[in-house]
Amino acid sequence: MTLLRAEGLVKSFGKTHALDGAGITIRAGEVVAVMGPSGSGKSTLLHCLAGILPPDSGTVHYRDRELTSMNDGDRSELRRTEFGFVFQFGQLVPELTCLENVALPLRLSGMKRKDAERAANEWLARLEVDGVADQRPGETSGGQGQRVAVARALVTGPKVIFADEPTGALDSLNGERVMHLLTTAARETGAAVVLVTHEPRVAAYSDREVVVRDGRSRDVEFAR
């Protein structure tokens, strides 16, 4: 089942044409690697897909809803309930403990503190970082911090996880562990993953790849 579909995305920053007619299709539960050279438009594509960045033209459909024509409130509601995000770094709130960070998205949706923290604890354990629950992000290693971030992305039961170079700051052993835990958890919960990476060994955790070059994407499976 098609979950997310972008068509004809165009996005410019001043004179830079970051996206020049890019498209992509994501089906429920699949892990898709978005690859391509630096500056080719991978992150811009991901931001447009996730409704973070409005494209200059083109459409993004999540199920039967069109993201670019939604109002801001509805769009952020959709992001909060249906999507999860993992970035290279800087996504955890430094003042909160790791447990509070993972519980945060649930608290924002109105869940009681006790229930939110119980769910957060379960996810920390699943990502094998329950040991750092009471530490602040600054007191964890890079690999632990990324696993906490993955736990936070998954705790709300999203349908799509957007991950932009989630292992970019990790060594290969830690990077692979994070990828293994992320893709295993996503497969178990049926979440799709859009994984931006330039590392082939990271992309090898995907089901298929889409290559972006010069702002245009080449979807091997959905080639036009």
Ligand X SMILES: Nc1ncnc2c1ncn2[C@@H]1O[C@H](COP(=O)(O)OP(=O)(O)OP(=O)(O)O)[C@@H](O)[C@H]1O
Residues that bind ligand X (CB under 6 A): 13, 16, 18, 36, 38-44, 198
Nearer to ligand X, 16 or 81 (CB): 16
Taking CB under 8 A as the binding criterion, the range among 3-11, 101-109, 148-156, 209-217 that sits at the site for another protein is 209-217
Asked if 4 and 49 count as a contact pair (C-beta separation under 8 A), the reply is: yes
Contact predicate 101/93, CB 8 Å: yes
Measured from the CB atom, is 20 or 122 closer to ligand X? 20
Other beta carbons within 10 Å of 90: 10
Among 43, 88, 144, 206, binds Mg ion (CB under 5 A): 43
Helix (H, G, I), strand (E, B) or coil at 144: helix
Residue 90 is a binding residue for another protein (CB under 8 A): no
State the minimum distance, in angstroms, from the CB of residue 126 to another protein. Answer: 16
Residue among 159, 163, 156 nearest 190 (CA): 159
As beta bridge partners, residue 12 has 17
Nearer CB in complex with ligand X: 18/106: 18
Q: Is 101 helix (H, G, I), strand (E, B) or coil?
A: helix
Q: Per rule CB under 8 A, is residue 204 in the interface with another protein? A: yes
CA distance linking residue 174 with residue 197, whole number of Å:
15
201 is a site residue for another protein (CB under 8 A): yes
> If we measure between CA atoms, which residue out of 125, 51, 43 comes closest to residue 87?
43
Q: How far is the CB of 173 from ligand X (least distance, A)?
A: 23
Q: Which stretches of the chain bind another protein, using CB under 8 A?
A: 37, 180, 198-201, 203-207, 209, 211, 213, 218, 220
